[in-house]
Amino acid sequence: MNDTASFLLKVIVISAVLSLLVKYGGPLLPLPAADNLNQWAIAIVLLPSFVFGIGLVSILKKTP
């Protein structure tokens, strides 16, 4: 039970931190006005998935 609670707490904390980064850090990004905006949007949306995927793969490779 303790493992489940700690896992849920970690997920909630990481989610809150990412949410705050998007909310307050997003407007600080120097995005162009109209040129290549779709490419930036796709990169920003897909980047967290790639980062978590790479992290999970590295964790799974370390476990016996």
Mean pLDDT in residue range 59-64: 81
DSSP 25: I
pLDDT of residue 22: 86
Q: pLDDT digits over 28-52, tens only? A: 777 666 666 677 788 889 999 999 9
- The CA-CA-CA angle for residues 35, 38, 41, to 5°, reads 120
pTM above 0.75, yes or no: no
The domain spans of the chain are: 1-30, 32-64
Cα separation, 32 vs 39, in Å, equals 11
40 or 16, which is more confident: 16
Burial class (CB in 10 A: 0-12, 13-18, 19+), 5: exposed
Amino acid 48: pLDDT: 92
DSSP 28: G
Q: What is the mean pLDDT of residues 12-22?
A: 93
